[in-house]
Amino acid sequence: MARNSCPAVGIDLGTTYSVIARLDASGRPQTIPNAEGDILTPSVVQFTEGGVVVGKAALEAMPRDMANVAESPKRELGQRVYPKPLGGRRYPPEVLEAFVLAKLRADAAPHIGPVEHAVITVPAYFDEVRRKATIDAGYMAGIDVWDIVNEPTAAAIAFGFREGFLRPDGTAVETQHIVIYDLGGGTFDVTVMRIKGRQFEVLATDGDMRLGGRDWDQRLVDYVAEEFIRTYGVDPREDPNTFGLLLRECEAAKRRLSQQEETHIVFEYEGCPNRTHVTRRLLEDLTSDLLERTAFTAQQAVEAAGLTWQAIDRVLLIGGATRMPAVPRMLQKLCGRPPDQTVSPEEAVAQGAALHAGLLQARHAGRVPPFEVRNVNAHSLAVVGLEPKTRQRRTAVLIPRNTPLPASARRLFRTSKANQRSIRVEIVEGESPSPADCILVGKCTVPNLPPNLPAQTPIDVAFDYAENGTLSVRVQVAGTNVHLEHQLVRPNSLTPEQLDQWRQFIAESLR
C-alpha cells in the first residue's frame, strides 16, 4: 500500500467549482492551483472533436457549444445517464465527475507528484447512492478514494484547525456549538456540530439537494428574458447557446451585485440588443423565497440537534453564494450575532478534507490522530415490506435519520409463502412510509433457499452503516446456512467492468 508516497490530499468535488488541497510538510493545508493558475476549477466538461475539455475553457465554451457541455453533473448523480447526450454519446453523471477529478489530479501532479489517493467530500445530505457514485468517480479518475467526508464536517475541521483547536493544547477549548451554512452553486447544506476540543461531533444535518446559487442565476435569467420578450416578442431562452450566454452573464451580474448596488446585463439575440438594469434590491426581491427556504431548513436542523439559536456559538459560512450580503444579514437575524466569515468559503472544504486525509494517514501509521469525527446519517434507512393487515408496501425504518455513525441494525422478516425459493430485500432511504416516496438504495436477492421452508420462516436482515455513509447488508435465513453479504444491486450503478472501461477511456481522453 503506497500510503505515504503522496501527501495527504483532499478534494472538494463541487457542483459548480472543485478545489484540491494538500497538507504541506508541517501539516498545514494548502490549496493547489490548477494548470490555469486558479484555485477554483469549474466543474464543467465539454466534449469536442479534439477531445474532452474540463474547467474554465469548458465554462467559456457554454455560449458557443452548450449542446456539448455538461455543467453541474453532480446534480444528476444517482441517475443512470446525464440528461442530454454530449458529443453524440450518453454519459453517466459519475463519469463526468470523474473527468473533473482527472483534471484536478493531472494539474496537481507538477506540484506534488502523482495523486494516488485522496479524501473526497460530498454534501452531508447526499444519500447512499450518490456517495457510492462519488467513490466510483474517484476510481474512474485513477484515484484510490480513502474516504468520503461530508462537506460541512470538512469545513468545520478547517475552521477548528485555524482556531487552534487541533493543537495539542486544543482540548482545553470550551465546547462550541456551530452551524455550518453551506450555499454552493447547486446544493444547500446545513449542519449543526459540537466541537469539544479535538472532537468534532455532528448533531444534525439537513439540506436541499436542488437549491444553490444557480437558482439565483436562473431567476435573473427569467427576469431578463421576460423583459426581452416584452420588447421583442421572442424568448432568448429558446436558443441553447443564448441561454448559456445569458446564464453566464446573469451569474456574473449576481456576483457584481454582492459588491455594488446596481449593474447591467448586456447581450444580443437574433440581432436584437438588450441592456437590462438590475439592482441588488431587485435580485433580493426575485429570490427572497429561496433565501427563506434556507432559513427554514437551518431552523429545522437547529431544532433537530435539540438546540435553539441562543445556544449556537458561531455560524460558519461556506460556499460562494454566501458572499451575497442577504445571506449573512438573514443569519444574523436568526442567530442574533454576525456569522463567522474568517475561513475562506471556497477553500475550507478541500482544506478540511486534506486534514482528514492527514488523520487517516496518522491512524494508518499508528500515530495518535490529531482529531476525531462523529457523523450522523442524513436519511432514515429502511427496508420495504408488506404490511400484514393491508398487504400494502410499507417502509420499516432500521436506522432513523441523525443516528450517530457507524450504526448497525437488524430486523426479522418472514417469508410469505411455503416453499419460497428466493427472497428479495429492497432497501430505501427517506422519511416517508410509502416506498414510492423514498430513494431506492438497492435490492438484493437471496436465491436457492432450501426447499420446503414453511411460510413465515424468519429472515434476519442486518445493516452496517459505515462512518462515511456507505452501507453493507447481511441477510441470514433462520435455520439454514443461507446468507448474503455486500451483494447490493444498485439500480443505476456502474458494474466493475464498466468502471474499468470508463477508467481507461478517461485516461486516454485526457492524454
Positions annotated as catalytic residues are: 12, 74, 151, 182
CA–CA distance from 6 to each of 114, 151, 357, 358, 368 (Å)? 7, 22, 11, 11, 20
CA–CA distance from 80 to each of 66, 83, 227, 416 (Å)? 21, 9, 37, 32
Q: Looking at beta carbons only, is 14 or 142 nearer to ligand ADP? A: 14
> Distance between CA atoms of 296 and 329, rounded to whole angstroms?
15
Question: Which residue of 319, 328, 385, 442 would you call a contact of ligand ADP, by CB under 6 A?
Answer: 319
Q: Which of 169, 170, 164, 163 is CA-nearest to residue 199?
A: 170
323 binds, among ligand ADP, Mg ion, none (CB under 5 to 8 A by kind): ligand ADP
263 binds, among ligand ADP, Mg ion, none (CB under 5 to 8 A by kind): none
Q: Looking at beta carbons only, is 92 or 207 nearer to ligand ADP? A: 207
Q: Binding to ligand ADP (CB under 6 A): which residues in 184-213?
A: 184-187, 212-213
- Within the chain, how many helices (H) and strands (E) appear? 12, 24
Q: Looking at beta carbons only, is 244 or 435 nearer to ligand ADP? A: 244
Q: How far is the CB of 282 from ligand ADP (least distance, A)?
A: 15
Core vs surface per residue 361-384: b (16+ CB within 10 A) or e:
bbeeeeeebbbebbbbbbbbbbbb
Backbone φ, ψ for residue 220 (5° rounding): -65, -40
113's grid cell? 507528484
Is residue 14 near Mg ion by the rule CB under 5 A?
A: yes
Could you say which DSSP state residue 186 is in? S
461's grid cell? 436482515
Q: Looking at beta carbons only, is 321 or 407 nearer to ligand ADP? A: 321
Is residue 93 near ligand ADP by the rule CB under 6 A?
A: no
Q: How many CB atoms lie within 10 A of CB 109?
A: 14
Is residue 130 near ligand ADP by the rule CB under 6 A?
A: no
Is residue 323 near ligand ADP by the rule CB under 6 A?
A: yes
Stretch that binds ligand ADP, among 9-17, 60-68, 135-143, 164-172 (CB under 6 A): 9-17
Q: How far is the CB of 329 from ligand ADP (least distance, A)?
A: 14
Pairing of β 471-477 and β 483-485: antiparallel
212 binds, among Mg ion, ligand ADP, none (CB under 5 to 8 A by kind): ligand ADP
Is residue 78 near Mg ion by the rule CB under 5 A?
A: no
Q: Looking at beta carbons only, is 124 or 357 nearer to Mg ion? A: 124
Stretch that binds ligand ADP, among 84-92, 162-170, 250-258, 402-410 (CB under 6 A): 250-258
Stretch that binds Mg ion, among 9-17, 52-60, 254-262, 410-418 (CB under 5 A): 9-17
Residue with cell 468517480: 137
Is residue 258 near ligand ADP by the rule CB under 6 A?
A: yes
Report how far apart the first and last C-alpha atoms of the chain are (Å, whole number). Answer: 26
Peptide bond into 406 cis (omega under 30): yes
> Distance between CA atoms of 378 and 468, rounded to whole angstroms?
11
Q: Looking at beta carbons only, is 100 or 423 nearer to ligand ADP? A: 100
Question: Which residue of 92, 160, 184, 435 would you call a contact of Mg ion, by CB under 5 A?
Answer: 184
426 - beta bridge partners?
443
What SS3 state is found at 263?
Answer: strand
344's grid cell? 475562506
Is residue 7 near ligand ADP by the rule CB under 6 A?
A: no
Residues in the chain: 511
- Are the C-beta atoms of residues 30 and 23 closer than 8 Å to each other? yes
Pairing of β 458-465 and β 407-414: antiparallel
366's grid cell? 499508528
The residue at minimum Cβ distance from Mg ion is: 184
Is residue 120 near ligand ADP by the rule CB under 6 A?
A: no
Site string for ligand ADP, 334-373 (x = CB under 6 A): ------------x---------------------------
Q: Looking at beta carbons only, is 123 or 430 nearer to ligand ADP? A: 123
Is residue 244 near ligand ADP by the rule CB under 6 A?
A: no
> Distance between CA atoms of 506 and 108, rounded to whole angstroms?
17
321 binds, among ligand ADP, Mg ion, none (CB under 5 to 8 A by kind): ligand ADP
Is residue 214 near ligand ADP by the rule CB under 6 A?
A: yes
Stretch that binds ligand ADP, among 161-169, 225-233, 247-255, 455-463 (CB under 6 A): 247-255
- How many residues sit close enough to ligand ADP to count as binding (CB under 6 A)? 21
Residue with cell 460558519: 316
The residue at minimum Cβ distance from ligand ADP is: 213
Pairing of β 188-196 and β 471-477: unpaired
Q: Which of 163, 141, 183 is CA-nearest to residue 509?
A: 141
Stretch that binds Mg ion, among 10-18, 84-92, 269-277, 479-487 (CB under 5 A): 10-18
Q: Which residues contact 49 (CB under 8 A, 6 or more apart)?
A: none
Q: Looking at beta carbons only, is 115 or 317 nearer to ligand ADP? A: 317
Q: How far is the CB of 292 from ligand ADP (least distance, A)?
A: 18
> Distance between CA atoms of 109 and 115, rounded to whole angstroms?
6
Pairing of β 9-12 and β 117-122: parallel
Q: How far is the CB of 227 from Mg ion (least distance, A)?
A: 31
Q: How far is the CB of 256 from ligand ADP (least distance, A)?
A: 8
Q: Which residues bind ligand ADP (CB under 6 A)?
A: 14-17, 184-187, 212-214, 251, 254-255, 258, 319-321, 323-324, 346
Q: Which residues bind Mg ion (CB under 5 A)?
A: 14, 184
